[in-house]
Every structure is written in C-alpha cells, then in structure tokens.
C-alpha cells in the first residue's frame, strides 16, 4: 500500500519543529530534499526520515546491510556528513533523477553535428538533475571559412548563448534548473569575445552559465615578460594565427572580473600537474559547473561533505579541540558511502558513456563544509596564521584517512578498473602522500581514481546550519525574503555561542565575516587546503565595492604563484540582485533576473521565484557567493 503524504502546511509544521523555528532551513529541506509522493505531498517531513532513506539505500551494496545501514545512519545524523543534493533528493526517489551533481560533456568536434549532439546530451543530463561542464575551444573562431551557406563562421563565442539558452530552458520550470560551465583556452582567437561575453549592462547574455578561462603557465610567463602571445586555431581549410599582447588579454579579463565577477580563471597546467588521472583514457579535459572536479570526457562525480564544525569538542572554551578520532572515522565511512553511490546510481545516468566513465574511474568528491564555524569554535580567526596551521594539520588528516579507506576498499572490493599502479604513482600529488599510503597503493591498489574536492555546498550548508565549504561567514545577520515575507536570520553559530554564554553575550573577535578578512588571506587559506586536495576547490573571494583593479590583479597572480588551481572574485556591486546592506550589519536580498545557476547553490524555495544571482552569486537569499570557481 502506498504511503500517504502530508500537505505542505502539515509538513512545514513538522519540519519547523525539528529545526527549532529556523524558517530558512525548513524551506530548504522541504523544497529541495524531503521525499515527496508523485502527487506532490510530503512523504518526509523531518531530516531523520531522510537520513533513514539515504542510509538504507547506500547500504544495499554491502554484504552486511544492517551493519552498514546503522553506520551510515549515525554518520548522517546531526549533519556530521552531508551528501550532495542529488543524493539526498534522488535516493529511492520514484522520479527519474541522477545521484551525481557533476558531469563533463565535450563538444566532440568543430561541426554542426557535434554542436547538436552536445545539445542533446546536455539536455538529457539536465533532465535528470545533473550539472554540465564543457569546453568550446574546439569550435573555430569568428571569421573562419566554412563550406556552407554561411561563408564565414560566427565563432565559438556565439555558441555560448545557444548553450546557455538550452540550459535555461531545460530547467525553466519550478524544478531544479539546468547548470552549465563553459570554458575556453587562453590562446583561442575568440578569447577577448569570450571574456567579455557576460558584460552587457542588463546582464542577460549567457545568463544560465558560469564561464572560465583555462590559463597556462606559458601565458603567465609571457605576461611576466610583457610579451605577445600567439592565438591560433587550425581547420581543415586554413591555419589561423595572430599575435596579441598578453597584457591586453590579461587586462580585459581582470576588468571583466572586477566589473561583472566573471570569468573565473583555471590555472590549467597546475590542474594537470596535480591530477591523479593522466593515463588510460582518464586524462582531464574540463571541469564541472563549479570548477572543483576536473574530469575526462563524459566523466561523472558524486559529492559529499564532512561538517568540520560537528567535530569540535568543548567549543568556544579554552579546551576547544578537534575530535580527531571521530573526524577520521567519519571520513572513512564517507568514502565508503560515496563509493557505494557509484554503484547504486549507475543506472541513473542520462548517457551510457557517463555510466561507463563513472564505473571505470570510480571518481568521488569528498569535501568539507563548516570550516569557518569550526575555526570560530576553536577560538581561531579565519585566515590567521594559527588558523592556517590548524587547517594544514586538519586537511592532512582528512586526506590520509580518505586514501587509507580507498586502499582498504580496493583490497575488499577491487581497485577501479582503469587503475595502473605505476602510472598512478607518477602523479605529483600522489608522490607527496606518506610513504605508507604510497606503498598501500602499490601493493593493494586504490578503489577510486580521485577522492577529494571542496564544493561550494550552498544549499546543503543551509540545511546543515553551517558555513559553506571553505568560505568565511558572509554576514552574521541578514534579511531573507520568502514568498513575499521578510525574515531576519542570524548565522546559526551565533545562537550556538549564546546558548553557552547567554542571550546577550557579546560575540568574540573570532566571529569575523567576509568583508573584514584581508583578501590575500583568502588566497593563502585556499592554497593551504589545496595542497591536500587531489581535485580542486570551489570558493569565491569577496571584495568591497571600492576595491581597485590592481588589487584583483595581485590576487590572481598570488593565486597562480601559490599553487591554487584557479581564482574567482566577487566585488560588491558587480552583480545586481545579490544583497544590499540594510543597516546594522543586516543585508537585504532583492529579486532580479537569474544569471547562472549552480547545482549546489541555487535554492528556489516552495512558492517563490528564485532570487539567486548566479551559481557563485547568492546562497538562496542569504549570503553572496558561497563559491564557484576558486579551485
């Protein structure tokens, strides 16, 4: 007999009681993750039921299902580990839905057939809830000769609008909207047109996509010497080349990022050097929507994040410390959980090529959220030298626990099918792992080709009541508008502190927010975390409106020099409809046209139109960019 669902008002009453009246978390849970019957009523009205469903589903791949169900259930409880939205929504859902947030779909050639094939494949992927990354530099530049009625090509950048429109149309209903990342190489002849594609005054061009430029070390070196760079493209009919001052490209890119917050930058040689998959057909060609997962053609990746704040013992006291054993155990279980998602979700990909690529590489993206909350609870100032020292140790522990578990799983279940121990051990990242882990990889194998990535975690952070990814707290209080009503919301950590110290206790100096943190500290923190992450990091550096262009250039150069895999900035005022200051540290979210939609961060609530200003721009109607491209 089918389960009877509850109507919205009854479901909201249950959820609000669970979240102790927190309207934001209540709306996020009910609109995004709670299981609903096909008639739209709610089968789950509190997260504990969701945890049961998800744990039970992922335990099905285990020999001892009861044991693993219990372990996974305890892992999920109280949001200690938060799987990505596609898993929370899709597990046992009668609707057709993927369990993977991340896909990379290539444009397979410089032809009309290749373009229409991409549209078909991306549309099918969007229909199941997946986000798509792609590269357009395979397409010939504007003015290149063609042998059809067009005479000359409209150029690669002209198809950005086509791809963006498809993305918006495929998710244009009240459900999950499509999400797209478009990248190009820095030496493509259309690079200047690409960089400025989203700079129209109304912000309506390419509004359903993120864009990023793949920058090489060679370009940065030419820039350092103030030299020209060669832009090139080869067609069957001609070789197109021209020299352009590197400073012109760089300056245009910086001006666009300063004015519009796009494009982001991927330091592609750094990405390739750090990749663990440059062999056996797993060579990375592009990234997912938010940039933290470099992937091979048709690559797929599922995601989940450990909530660091949940592992602080004696928070806000002089005895505050990390529960190191608890954290290590959670990381190990999370790796097993995400590895099971690969098999449970194998039949839920839109394309056969995606299923085959996922099963062949068994790529997962275990990340973190609640980092800013964790540091504050440990009495550390975000971005300070003591905080960087702690994060270096903490991320080292996460890395080692994850790799040790993947080795253990390889021994138990077998390594990923494309695994080659000699080639895998050649990776510069793997060579930096402890000797005991390298020996384990050599003798026992590895279950997953790559393990770690820090996603922006926009909506799941709201659900967990924690800060996003590695982002700082944006604001301690703000106004949120839902269905015509305005709610004053405090960052949940404030309430936790005052539960311990009294309702009127002044907040300590460790409760820093994004606009009080020196931007260079953000880059240093990102670089510290990146050293321990085998894939990438999504984050966005927030800048005051008066930040000069020269400061953006300094951040970009420092990011490249320090080993970050990319950089994105968001200057206040560079995008409409994010937040405006309402006084007394309160920010007001205002409606506006959507610009781009990240599968992690865009959170339309029940009964409202989305006011997010883009994938890296707004977290529901709370904080501006929870992250996108700072890899």
**CA neighbor of 426 nearest in space, from 535, 273, 297:** 273
CB 567 within 8 A of CB 137: no
Bridge-based pairing of strands 102-104 and 300-307 is antiparallel
C-alpha dihedral (77, 82, 84, 88), degrees to nearest 10: 10
Q: Which of 27, 44, 71, 292 is catalytic?
A: 292
CB 51 within 8 A of CB 77: yes
Q: Which of 135, 210, 288, 302 is catalytic?
A: 288
CA separation for the pair 118, 350 (Å, rounded): 13
Please indicate whether residue 564 is annotated as part of the active site: no
Please indicate whether residue 290 is annotated as part of the active site: yes
C-alpha to C-alpha distances, 19 to 29, 546, 622, nearest whole angstrom: 10, 38, 17
DSSP alpha helices (H): ranges in 176-245? 191-195, 217-224
CB atoms near residue 74 (< 10 Å): 16
Q: Which of 44, 102, 210, 290 is catalytic?
A: 290
C-alpha to C-alpha distances, 208 to 203, 301, 576, 616, nearest whole angstrom: 11, 21, 15, 12
* Strand segments (E) across 5-77: none
- Token readout for 630 is 């700072």
Please indicate whether residue 288 is annotated as part of the active site: yes
| SS3 label, residue 39 | coil
**CA neighbor of 79 nearest in space, from 340, 461, 458, 459:** 461
Which letter does DSSP use for residue 444 in this model?
H
- Token readout for 385 is 């030298």
CB 94 within 8 A of CB 78: no
The H or E element that residue 553 is part of is helix 549-561
CA separation for the pair 626, 529 (Å, rounded): 17
Angle between helix 385-413 and helix 324-344 axes, rounded to 10 deg: 50
Catalytic positions, written as ranges: 288, 290, 292
């Amino acid at each position: 007999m089918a389960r009877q669902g509850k109507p919205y008002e009854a479901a909201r009453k249950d959820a609000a009681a669970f979240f102790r009246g927190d309207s934001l978390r209540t709306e996020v849970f009910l609109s995004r993750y709670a299981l609903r019957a096909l008639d739209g009523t709610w089968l789950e009205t509190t997260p504990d039921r969701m945890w049961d469903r998800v744990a039970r589903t992922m335990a099905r791949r285990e020999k001892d299902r009861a044991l693993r169900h219990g372990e996974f259930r305890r892992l999920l409880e109280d949001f200690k580990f938060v799987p990505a939205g596609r898993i929370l929504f899709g597990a046992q859902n009668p609707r057709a839905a993927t369990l993977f947030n991340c896909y990379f779909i290539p444009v397979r050639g410089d032809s009309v057939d290749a373009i229409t094939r991409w549209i078909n494949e991306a549309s099918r992927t969007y229909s199941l809830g997946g986000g798509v990354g792609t590269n357009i530099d395979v397409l010939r530049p504007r003015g290149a000769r063609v042998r059809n009625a067009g005479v000359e090509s409209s150029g690669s950048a002209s198809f950005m609008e086509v791809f963006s429109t498809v993305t918006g149309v495929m998710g244009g209903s009240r459900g999950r909207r499509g999400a797209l990342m478009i990248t190009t190489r820095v030496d493509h002849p259309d690079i200047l047109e690409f960089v400025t594609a989203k700079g129209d005054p109304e912000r309506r061009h390419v509004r359903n996509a993120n864009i990023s430029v793949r920058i090489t070390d060679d370009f940065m070196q030419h820039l350092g010497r103030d030299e020209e760079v060669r832009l090139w493209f080869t067609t069957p009919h001609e070789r197109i080349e021209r020299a352009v001052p590197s400073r012109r490209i760089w300056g245009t890119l910086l001006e666009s990022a300063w004015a519009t917050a796009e494009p982001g930058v991927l330091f592609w040689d750094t990405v390739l050097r750090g990749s663990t998959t440059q062999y056996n057909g797993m060579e990375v060609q592009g990234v997912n929507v938010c940039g933290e997962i470099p992937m091979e053609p048709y690559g797929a990746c599922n995601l989940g994040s450990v909530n660091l704040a949940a592992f602080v013992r004696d928070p806000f006291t002089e005895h505050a410390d990390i529960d190191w054993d608890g954290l290590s155990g959670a990381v190990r279980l999370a790796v097993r959980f995400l590895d099971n998602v690969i098999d449970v979700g194998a039949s839920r990909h839109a394309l056969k090529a995606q299923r085959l690529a996922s099963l062949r590489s068994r790529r997962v993206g275990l990340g973190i959220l609640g980092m800013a909350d964790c540091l504050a609870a440990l009495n550390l100032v975000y971005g300070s030298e003591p905080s960087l020292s702690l994060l270096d140790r903490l991320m080292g522990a996460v890395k080692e626990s994850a790799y040790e578990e993947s080795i253990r799983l390889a021994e138990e279940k077998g390594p990923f099918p494309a695994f080659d121990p000699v080639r895998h051990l050649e990776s510069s990242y793997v060579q930096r792992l402890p000797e005991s882990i390298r020996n384990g990889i050599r003798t026992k194998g590895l279950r997953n080709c790559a393990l770690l990535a820090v996603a922006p975690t926009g909506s799941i952070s709201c659900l967990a009541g924690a800060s996003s990814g590695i982002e700082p707290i944006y604001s301690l209080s703000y106004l949120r508008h839902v269905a015509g009503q305005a709610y004053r919301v405090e960052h949940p950590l404030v309430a936790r502190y005052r539960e311990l110290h009294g309702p009127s206790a002044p907040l300590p100096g460790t409760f820093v927010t994004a606009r009080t943190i020196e931007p260079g500290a953000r880059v240093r923190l990102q670089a510290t975390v990146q050293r321990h992450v085998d894939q990438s990091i999504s984050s966005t550096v927030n800048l005051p409106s008066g930040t000069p262009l020269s400061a953006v250039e300094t951040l970009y150069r420092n990011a490249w020099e320090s080993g970050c895999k990319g950089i994105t900035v968001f200057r206040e005022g560079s995008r409409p409809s994010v937040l405006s200051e309402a006084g007394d540290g309160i920010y007001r979210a205002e409606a506006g046209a959507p610009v781009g939609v990240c599968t992690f961060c865009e959170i339309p609530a029940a009964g409202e139109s989305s006011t997010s200003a883009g994938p890296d721009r707004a977290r529901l109607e709370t904080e501006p960019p929870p992250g996108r491209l700072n890899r």
